[in-house]
Amino acid sequence: MNEKKYYAARLFTGTAWLNQQVVTVRDGQIIKITPAGNDEDVSARFEIMAPAFIDLQIYGAREKLFSVYPEAASLQALYEHCLEGGTSHFQPTVATNSYEVFYKSIDAVRDYRNNGGRGCIGLHIEGPWLSPVRKGAHIESFIHSPSVEQARNLLEYGKGVITMITLAPEVCSKEVQELVHSYGVKISGGHSNAAYEEALAAFDGLVHTTTHLYNAMSPLQHRAPGMVGAIFNHANVMASIIPDGYHVDFAAVRIAKTIMQERLFVITDAVTGTTSGPYPHQLAGDKYEAGGILSGSALSMAQAAKNLVTHTGSTVEEAFRMCSLYPARVMGMEQTMGKIETGYPVNIVCLNAQLEADTVLTEG
């Protein structure tokens, strides 16, 4: 029996704050949460403990862009990088590319998991079924509308590995979307030029979340509300957002949060420097560019949470939920992640008073 106790001066459970608590864990599970006694013997003490963060869109770390180095070692480097930023679980992402790269990425995720790799939810494929009008930094020569056969071949090869596909709903047939859904893969609308009505129809169908709100999608205009307007007006569709101050102005983050409330969640969209492959990301200050175009962030989830508090007026607890509970909800993992409760697996981020990540306690 492997039992440990951790003290938190302030514990955020995912729903409420508790002061001076001891979290007891055994064999990877939280078995109880109790008020701290005087001089209680604990394994470690922390200022703040909260549900560990979950990043559903990240492309690589430590000069190992996953699409360039589709290997288990790249995922191990990415996992270690995520832990440093307070993240226990991540969804490695490959942007629009060749099918060969997608297949190699699937092999790498499978190899990583089969050999004890931790924290990897599954593979997020962003593209190539996108609108060339809203391609952003994606390579247009790879972008196309898929046939049912193309989609089936990819999904069958990636069964159990692919967990999310970002696509433009207006360039993918209903048959393709139904096929993706049938494999248990989450469909995220993005890089889309859909009109307001097209987007609403997609959200009423099988597209239940969207990729990096505002970026690479038809904008909100007063006579053409576009995908942004449809996201704002729909009751249920969720959206990721990149709060680094470059992808989206912080005022626009605040506006979106005011409208969307619990439907808005954080991704880092973080890349890493590389000179190989079709996406030569180069660090430009504290963001990345490819060919002079903004191509990814240098953000961590802990920094994202701090940015929300510092620059958008968010409460600390809501910033934490946007980085943990709400991503878990998107993936249907709310019963095992995003909270610190008895019976939940141990996935806890420990931070100092300045909201800087100290360590992550995790068994998954």
pLDDT at 27 over 70: yes
Backbone angles phi, psi at 116, to 5 degrees: 85, 10
Would the CA dihedral through 339, 341, 346, 348 be positive or negative?
positive
**β-pair partners for 19:** 10
Residue 150's contacts (CB-CB under 8 Å, 6 or more residues apart) are 99
* pLDDT tens column, 42-77: 999 999 999 999 999 999 999 999 999 999 999 999
pLDDT at 97: 97
- Where are the chain's structural domains? 3-50+341-362, 53-330
* pLDDT tens column, 239-284: 999 999 999 999 999 999 999 999 999 999 999 999 888 888 999 9
pLDDT at 290 over 90: no
pLDDT at 295: 86
> Binding residue per annotation — 118?
no
Distance, in Å, from the CA atom of 357 to the CA atom of 96, rounded to the nearest integer, reads 32
Distances (CA, A) of 128 to 138, 168, 228, 249, 294: 8, 9, 21, 27, 19
CATH architecture of 3-50+341-362: Roll (2.30)
> Binding residue per annotation — 296?
yes
pLDDT at 39 over 80: no
> Where is 31: in which H helix or E strand?
strand 29-35
Residue 235's contacts (CB-CB under 8 Å, 6 or more residues apart) are none
CB 231 within 8 A of CB 259: no
> Binding residue per annotation — 305?
no
DSSP 126-180: E-SSS-GGG-TTS-GGG--PPPHHHHHHHHHHTTTTEEEEEE-GGGS-HHHHHHH
pLDDT at 1 over 70: no
Which ranges constitute the DSSP H helices of the chain?
72-84, 99-114, 148-157, 174-182, 196-204, 226-233, 250-260, 301-312, 316-323, 325-330
Catalytic residue numbers read 269
> Binding residue per annotation — 52?
no
pLDDT at 155 over 70: yes
DSSP state of 15: S
* pLDDT tens column, 96-145: 999 999 999 999 999 999 999 999 999 999 999 999 999 998 999 999 99
pLDDT at 363: 77
> Binding residue per annotation — 223?
yes
Angle at 25 between CA 24 and CA 28, to 5 degrees: 170
Rg (CA), the chain: 20
pLDDT at 229 over 90: yes
Please compute the mean of the pLDDT values over residues 174-190 and round it to a whole number: 98
Side chain identity at residue 287, one-letter code: K
Q: Above pLDDT 70, what percent of the chain?
A: 99
Fold held by 53-330: TIM Barrel (3.20.20)
* pLDDT tens column, 218-227: 999 999 999 9
* pLDDT band per the 50, 70, 90 thresholds, residue 364: low
Q: What is the pTM of this model?
A: 0.97
